[in-house]
Homo-oligomer: A and B are copies of this chain.
Amino acid sequence: MAATRDDVARLAGVSSSTVSYAISGRRTISTETRLRVERAMAELNYTPNAFARGLAGSRGGILALHYPYGRRGVTSSEFEYVAAATDRARARGYHLLLWSNPIDDVEGLGSLVSEGLVDGVILMELTAHDARVPVLTAARIPFTNIGRPDDARSLWFIDADYEAMGRLAIDHLADLGHERVFFLSQTIGAAERGSGPLVRATRSLAAPAADRGVQIETHRADISVSGGRAAFDAFDARPSRPTAVLAFNETALAGFVQAAALAGRSIPHDVTVVALSIGDLAADMTSPPLTTVSPPGVEIAAAAVDHLADRLEGRREEAPHLLVAPALVVRGSSARVGHR
C-alpha cells in the first residue's frame, strides 16, 4: 500500500541511501538529484515509516509528557498546557505521547522508558523529592521539568517565578490598603508532602508581607469545594476579620466564594479576593471575575518542549533554569479597603 524508500529510489533513479540523505540533509547532494528525489516523493505521496526510522536511527522523534495521576485538584487550565505542548512538539517535528503513573509507581515509568519509544520526557508537577527524577536520570534519558524538585542544581527545568508571584500579590493588596490577609492554603496529602509549589508559594509571601507591613493568617483548606466552605466559616467566625483573601487552592476557593455569597458577604465590597495560579477561564467563571496572579501556563508548556528539543538536537549544553514571570490581572474581585 504505502510507498517505501525503495520505491522512491527506483522512480528517482538513485540509490535508496541517497533518498535518505536527501531527506535528512546529512550529506551534500547535487541540486538535480535532490529535485528528482523530491519529485518522486511527491508523486508517490511518500512518508517515511516512523518505526523503521526509530529502529535504525538514534532518534525516533517522539517525546513524552508525563503527569502524575490520581491527584485531587485537577485545575481547569491543564488542558491548555497539554494542547500547547502538543502543538509546539508538532511544530518542531515531534510527536507527543501522554504518560501517566501514580506518583509512587516509578517502576511503571521505568519500563515505559526502557521500551525505547521516546527520545525525551517532560515531567509535569514536580514535587519536592520527586521519585521520577532518579528513575529518568538512571535511565540516561534526556528530560526536562515543569516545576522543580528541591535539589534541582543539575536538572533542566522551567518553573513559575514564585517570588515574583508572591510579591505581585502582596503589593497589589498593600496598594489597596489591605493590612490583614487570610491565606487560603491547602492541606498536604502524603504524596504532596513538601510539594514544591505550595512550599514556594507560601514562602514567597513572607518577605514582601514584612516589607509592606501586611499580616498573613494562614488557613489550610481541604482541596475540595466543601473544604472552601469550611474555610469561609473559619474566616467569618473571627471576631475581627482580615479584609482580604489570598487563595492558593482553586477548588476550595470556589466553595469559599459560594459560602461568602450565601452569608451575604459581597466581593469585593466586604472582602477582597486574589487568586494565585488560576487560569483565565476559571477566573472568568465566577461573579465577580477573580483578580489573579498566575504564571502563563501555555508559555511554560511550549518552552518546556523547546528546551527538550534543543537539548536533543544538541543546541544547548548547560542545564537551564528558567523562571517564568507571572502576570497580575486585575478583575472585579479586588478593591480598596473600605470601598463601597
Interface 9-mer from A5-13, A29-37, A204-212, A250-258: A250-258
User: Which chain B residue shows the least CB distance to A70?
Assistant: B87
- CB pair A2–B114 under 8 Å, yes or no, is yes
- B-chain residues with CB within 8 Å of residue A289 when the two chains form the complex: 225, 254, 258
Contact A69 to B45, CB < 8 A, known contacts A74-B281, A79-B74: no
Interface 9-mer from A92-100, A184-192, A305-313, A315-323: A92-100
**Residue A237 lies at the interface, judged by CB distance under 8 Å to chain B:** no
- B-chain residues with CB within 8 Å of residue A258 when the two chains form the complex: 284, 286-289, 332
A114-135 residues at the B interface, CB under 8 angstroms = 114-117
- B-chain residues with CB within 8 Å of residue A49 when the two chains form the complex: 55, 115-116
Contact A87 to B69, CB < 8 A, known contacts A96-B98, A286-B285, A289-B225: yes
**Residue A299 lies at the interface, judged by CB distance under 8 Å to chain B:** no
- CB pair B285–A261 under 8 Å, yes or no, is no
Q: How far is the CA of A49 from the CA of B115 in the complex (A)?
A: 5
**Residue A76 lies at the interface, judged by CB distance under 8 Å to chain B:** yes
Contact A284 to B225, CB < 8 A, known contacts A49-B55, A79-B82: yes
- CB pair A96–B95 under 8 Å, yes or no, is no
Q: How far is the CA of A285 from the CA of B73 in the complex (A)?
A: 13
**Residue A90 lies at the interface, judged by CB distance under 8 Å to chain B:** yes
- CB pair B287–A285 under 8 Å, yes or no, is no
**Residue A83 lies at the interface, judged by CB distance under 8 Å to chain B:** yes
- B-chain residues with CB within 8 Å of residue A83 when the two chains form the complex: 67, 69, 74, 100
User: Would you list the 10 A-B pairs with minimal beta carbon distance, nearest first?
Assistant: A76-B76, A51-B54, A79-B79, A258-B287, A51-B55, A261-B287, A47-B114, A50-B117, A50-B115, A78-B79
Name 17 A/B residue pairs within 8 A (Cβ), A-sorted. Answer: A2-B114, A47-B111, A47-B116, A50-B115, A50-B116, A51-B60, A52-B55, A69-B87, A74-B83, A83-B100, A95-B117, A255-B284, A258-B288, A258-B289, A262-B288, A282-B282, A286-B287
Q: Could you list which residues of chain A lie within 8 angstroms of chain B, going by C-beta atoms?
A: 1-2, 45, 47-52, 54-55, 60, 62, 67, 69, 74, 76, 78-80, 82-83, 86-87, 90, 95-100, 111, 114-117, 140, 225, 251, 254-255, 257-258, 260-262, 281-282, 284-289, 332
